[in-house]
A and B are shown apart, each in its own frame.
Chain A
């Protein structure tokens, strides 16, 4: 079964850091671009970041650029999101998602995790 399982969410104070993980199984992780997408409470989806298959190309939303870092460990089938200098507006459910096409960018995500909740509050 193709599966993505996020972990690492929690309550953190403004200015703090958190590292999210996403464990992948059931597909060739190293062949797929991966993304993080977030959803603030009661709001829409926001594409946060995307990483190429080998991790050599990464892109970020303006709202997180310079504060968040996406990375991957293909030997461990795991995607990461390092979040620093967290703000209240980063409060959201964070989803990891797999690109539809192996070996190329399709900018469509066909497998999603259930999400992990990040709350930034004092």
Chain B
């Protein structure tokens, strides 16, 4: 299975907004409403931030939002905070394997 495509890194200053993209195909991102986003701090397990394209689990800050257009999903973080510095991964159901695939990950740096 081919990984979904994410930028290797993004950066922003405290208080700013950033967007991380996740590009797939019509067999995954564009074909189903099953895109998720995970945050991972160094040495820690991933944490679910967005599921089913744009839904937030309880307890996740509303500064995190998800969207999708065609075969590209996006995670937007508004009001950047130092604690947001982490790696972010998208994932999606894919019909090519009948379960899931991750993106390569994006390192977010808060300047």
Contacts and interface: CB of A to CB of B under 8 A. Distances in A.
Contacts of A62: 1, 97
A89 interface: no
B51 A45 contact: no
Interface string A84-95: 000000000001
The 8 closest A-B pairs by CB, nearest first: A108-B51, A112-B45, A44-B105, A59-B99, A108-B36, A107-B93, A107-B34, A45-B102
Interface string B1-32: 10100000000000000000000000000000
A86 to B, nearest CB: 20
Contacts of B101: 47
Nearest to B32: A107
A47 B101 CA distance: 6
A93 B98 CA distance: 24
A50 B100 contact: yes
A112 B3 CA distance: 21
Given A44-B89, A45-B105, A95-B45, A110 B57 contact: yes
B24 to A, nearest CB: 13
B92 interface: yes
Contacts of A14: none
A112 B89 CA distance: 15
A100 B100 contact: no
Interface of A: 35, 37, 44-47, 50, 59, 61-62, 95, 100, 105-110, 112-115
B57 A115 contact: no
Main SS class of interface, B? strand
Contacts of B89: 44-45
Contact of B100 (A107, A110, A112): A107
A108 B56 CA distance: 11
A47 B102 contact: yes
Contacts of B57: 100, 110
Contacts of B51: 100, 106, 108, 110
A104 B48 CA distance: 18
Contacts of A47: 91, 99-102
B64 interface: no
